[in-house]
A and B are shown apart, each in its own frame.
Chain A
Amino acid sequence: MAEAPLLELRGITKRFPGVLANDDVSFDLRHGEVHALLGENGAGKSTLMNILYGLYTPDEGAILLNGKEIDVGSTKASIEHGIGMVHQHFMLIPVMTVAENIVLATEPRKAGIALDYTAARKRVRDLSDRYGLAVDPDAKIERITVGQQQRVEILKALYRGAEILILDEPTAVLTPQEARELFEIIRSLQEQGKSIIFISHKLNEVLEIADRITVLRRGKVVDTIPAEGATEPGLAQMMVGREVLLRVDKKPSQAGSPLLQVEDLHVFDDRGLEAVRGLSLEVHAGEIVGLAGVDANGQSELIDAIAGLRAVASGTVRLDGRDVTGDSAREMIDEGLGHIPEDRHRRGLVLPFSLAENLALHAYRKAPESRRGLLQLSTISRRAKRLLQEFDVRGGTPDTPAFALSGGNQQKVVLAREIDADPKVLIAAQPTRGLDVGAIEFVHRRLVEQRDAGRAVFLISLELEEILSLSDRILVIYEGQIVREFPPTASEEEIGLAMTGGGREEAA
């Protein structure tokens, strides 16, 4: 049944300085369908949708709604046209309530000047009942779960009359259980006549939820196919353009003595709540232990505590047998701990510093990089040259400031620094976040190298694929505790289930 598409994007081209983000992209959305936009990091999916939502203007191309060309020069315009977007990083104000966030900018008034809170609450409840998205209008955003926050974001769009909903990587922050709930919500919205664009890079989800799939690669559309009949390997190949090794080739591990031992660790988070609740684990020399888990289950606090960046409430941490509990970050580094932080911009690098200065971030205090309090610039520079070459860092010389490099090269610098320090234990937290395939392969290879050289590698990642492909042992963290251990031959389903607490029902 040939049906005129509800929404059409024709020939969209968008250039940023140095990169062609969207290259003559054409895309259409039929009424009442779930259309997935698939592609790797950097393929141009978010850019395309940001254009649709009015956050960017396209350099070329047109957008048609119901056959008529529309102008989405601002978010206001696109909202008026019935387009709503739920971003990957939520646009919610933590200190305000659910109701306040939802009615913001279109608030119901009392006597013309005052904010009618009762009416706002009522409207939120009505919407919530109508679409089956349970939320408490008076709860503060900072106190509700991520899954609930996402529901608030969806309600925000629906409140403004969205008929077309764009969901940008919605499951990135959800547990598998919450993701399933989300899919039910999506189906229910579909039944109510909404049309949905689902952005993702996860093949299995896309196959489960979408009616049609459009694959983007390097800013261009590869193809648009119906979900029926599509396969994961087929989609992967379209995404990347070549045979993708979904698993890393590696020798079996030869585990030695335990180099990192954590016993009954208790750590509090910034809000004073217990984030790590009696956690114990071991990482041996010559093995990679992968920590799987949904975001915000205590991983960050665990890493911080081991690295000396956060206070340990109770429990012990041992490095190569030595008790290092409560040691400062500096002492941990001296003891032989390497740490690839999960946020290279915030923690891993000082962006305005040169590459040489960044590479010296741990070594600057001691000889030969410094003598009697004075830096030995030639030594620092020589070391930098050597490391940049060894780790194939492109985009700069030792004097180039770090902010001028691409994400992948920046991560290589971080890796170079940590690995060159010859640590006994290497913590790798989200080491491939935001990197393209080439850089990911590089990082994975290096981690395996370290493991083969007899180091203990502790990998923490939100990407289950990465964990499965690299780890010799897999631990699952849930609500601050290790709940299960798996061999690398385990299935994603088993691990996913453990990540939610092993079948425990989540409170709504």
Chain B
Amino acid sequence: MSDELKEEAFEQAPPPGEIPSPQQHFASRFSGLTGAIGPLVTVVLAFLISGIAILAIGKDPLKVYRAFWNGTGLNFFYHFGSYSIRIPFGTTHVWFWWDTASISAQNLQQTLLTTTPIILTALALALPFRAGMFNIGGQGQYWVGSIITVWVGESFIGLNGPVHIVLCLVVGTLGGAAWAGLAGILKAKWGVHEVISTIMLNWIAIWTSSWLLGQGGPLQGSQKSIPVSNSIADAAKLPIFWGPKLLQGLSIGIFIAVAMLFVYWLLINRSTLGYEIRAVGFNPDAARYGGMSVARNYFLAMAIAGAFAGLAGAIDILGWRYNLGQLDVQNQAGQIGFIGLAAALLGRNTALGVGAASLLFGALLTGTSGRQLDQSIFRPDLAGDLTTIIQGLVVLFVGLNLGAVAVWWRRKLRRVAA
């Protein structure tokens, strides 16, 4: 049984090319339908395996999955018909194909509400990944953005609505950018591995935010018995365009997030900065030779990523949280930053992929949340952990370079036949 070493020596004919590195696999040249096969298989595999796990604990996976599905609101589009609905921001009623006030409509609002920050934190991973970096710090950058937004939101009362909103969004974005930029500088100047630095920054953000919001902390609100901040000014709240305002309707934040998907696509594929980032990610030596500054690109990629994550935090505050509590920050479950990570990898770091994958995870989170899930079928807190398991499975399988596996499989068969 011989093991063969790969040699560079045979230059006679077009070499088959090295097995694309993981970077190349993720920042994949595959687009369109062929590119979607891998992620699709991954999702199916992940749900299959967790289905087996559900079976192992004595429940019916199909029933459980259907219970999840019911909560997502994706069945909103089933009930095609003719309804009279109220248009956003107005009181007139018009004719529409779907009932925008039904239960599944409310579920869909929740899903989209959850999808919004996931899109952004996913972009926060995707962009640096193109430059060859792994930004696990999305969660910390999200909190920094949130904290700053809460502070600016509850101060400056009396500011004009749109002005206040824009101000909050901007400072939240800048906060996240600075937090990630710190890790970027550490990498650019001192070669500090961004995984370590961003995780440390995550925890520093969590504990600092906890202190800020805690008993006696500087950002604690006027109600001194609970560790929660003041609510933001009414003027600073993002307009809700779908759903009852008082029952956590969907804000226009979703549009901002989708717009950012487009910005990401434009940046990576059509801008000179994106060209540099991709070059640095594939081959820093060649990038340097081409005149680019690798350090500058590391920093910029991280800063822009942090901006996305910070924006996510800002939108969540202005869109539905309206304040921030110590418990929010310390709650381990459903941490958006890490879900965004899984969504980015699943979406292969492309704009379209990230959008679709974020929707998937948004739906999953909503379907398994306490509000939507039928308790008798599955406990919501358990469902939260199940979601984390599915997350892990997705990342595990999407990390599989299906190309390499196929090649390995073919070689194994060849060896057996030979």
Q: Which residues of A contact B285 (CB under 8 A)?
A: 346-347
Is B5 an interface residue when CB atoms closer than 8 A count as contact?
A: yes
From A16, A73, A330, A404, contact of B2 by CB (8 A) = A73
Distance (whole angstroms) from the CB of B30 to the closest CB of chain A? 11
A248, chain B: closest CB distance, angstroms:
22
Apart from A18-B15, A353-B282, what are 17 other A-B pairs with CB-CB below 8 Å?
A: A19-B12, A47-B9, A56-B5, A74-B2, A328-B291, A330-B291, A341-B289, A348-B289, A352-B23, A352-B27, A352-B282, A364-B275, A374-B272, A403-B20, A404-B14, A404-B17, A436-B12
Q: How far is the CB of A11 from chain B (nearest CB, A)?
A: 16
Q: How far is the CA of A55 from the CA of B270 in the complex (A)?
A: 45
B4 pairs with A349, CB closer than 8 A:
no
Total count of chain B residues near the partner, CB < 8 A: 42
Q: How far is the CB of A407 from chain B (nearest CB, A)?
A: 4
Chain B residues near A404: list those with CB within 8 A: 14, 17
Inter-subunit contact A370/B282 (CB<8 Å): no
Question: Nearest Cβ distance between residue A425 and chain B, in whole angstroms?
Answer: 16
- Nearest A residue to B279 via CB reads A350
A484 at the interface (CB under 8 A from B): no
Q: How far is the CA of A353 from the CA of B274 in the complex (A)?
A: 13
Contacts known (A55-B5, A56-B4, A375-B270); A17 close to B16, Cβ less than 8 A: yes
Q: Which 7 A-B pairs have the closest CB atoms?
A: A330-B291, A57-B2, A403-B17, A42-B12, A19-B13, A361-B290, A73-B2
In the complex, which residues 1-38 of chain A have their Cβ closer than 8 Å to any Cβ of chain B?
16-19, 21
Task: With A373-B273, A375-B272 as known contacts, state yes or no: A18 contacts B16, CB within 8 Å.
Answer: yes
- Residues of chain A within 8 A of B271, CB atoms compared: 373-375
Q: Is the interface of A mostly helix, strand, loop or mixed?
A: loop
Residues of A close to B418: CB separation below 8 A? 59
In whole angstroms, how far apart are the Cα atoms of A404 and B29 in the complex?
13
CA distance A42 to B266 in the complex (A): 43
Tell me which of B12, B24, B275 contacts A375 (CB under 8 A). Answer: B275
Decide if A309 touches B289 in the complex (CB within 8 Å).
Answer: yes
- Tell me, yes or no, whether A98 is within 8 Å of chain B by CB: no
Cβ–Cβ contact B11 & A407, under 8 A? yes
Our pick among A55, A330, A405 for the contact of B14 (Cβ within 8 Å) is A405
Is A377 positioned at the interface, with any CB of B under 8 Å from its CB?
Answer: yes
Let me know if B10 and A19 touch, CB within 8 A.
Answer: yes
Q: Assess the A329–B288 pair: CB atoms within 8 A.
A: yes
A348-389 interface code vs B (CB 8 A; 1 in, 0 out): 111111000100111011000010011101000000000000
Residue A218 interfacial (CB < 8 Å) = yes
The answer to whether B291 touches A21 (Cβ under 8 A) is no
Interface residue? A165 (CB, 8 A): no
Q: How far is the CB of B68 from chain A (nearest CB, A)?
A: 38
- A362: which of B20, B278, B291 is its contact (CB, 8 Å)? B291
Query: Which residues of chain A have C-beta atoms less than 8 A from B290's C-beta?
Result: 329, 361-362
Of A349, A360, A370, which contacts B286 at CB under 8 A?
A349
A41 to B23 Cα, complex, angstroms: 31
- In this assembly, does A435 line the interface, its C-beta being within 8 Å of a C-beta of chain B? yes
Whether the pair A403, B18 counts as a contact (CB closer than 8 A) is yes
A397 at interface by CB-CB < 8 Å? no
Report if B283 contacts A (CB, 8 A): yes
Q: Could you tell me the distance between the alpha carbons of A408 and B12 in the complex, rounded to whole angstroms?
A: 9
Min CB distance A192 to B, Å, is: 30
Are A434 and B283 in contact (CB-based, < 8 A)? no
Instruction: Provide 26 A-B residue pairs closer than 8 Å at the C-beta atoms, listed in order of the A residue.
Output: A16-B16, A18-B15, A21-B10, A21-B12, A41-B11, A57-B2, A57-B4, A307-B289, A329-B289, A330-B292, A350-B278, A350-B286, A351-B17, A352-B20, A352-B23, A357-B275, A364-B272, A370-B272, A373-B273, A375-B270, A375-B275, A395-B14, A401-B17, A403-B18, A403-B20, A406-B14
Residue A54 is within 8 A (CB to CB) of chain B in the complex: yes
Chain A residues with Cβ under 8 A from B279's Cβ? 350, 353, 361
Residues of B within 8 A of A405 (CB): 14
Q: Are A339 and B289 in contact (CB under 8 A)?
A: yes
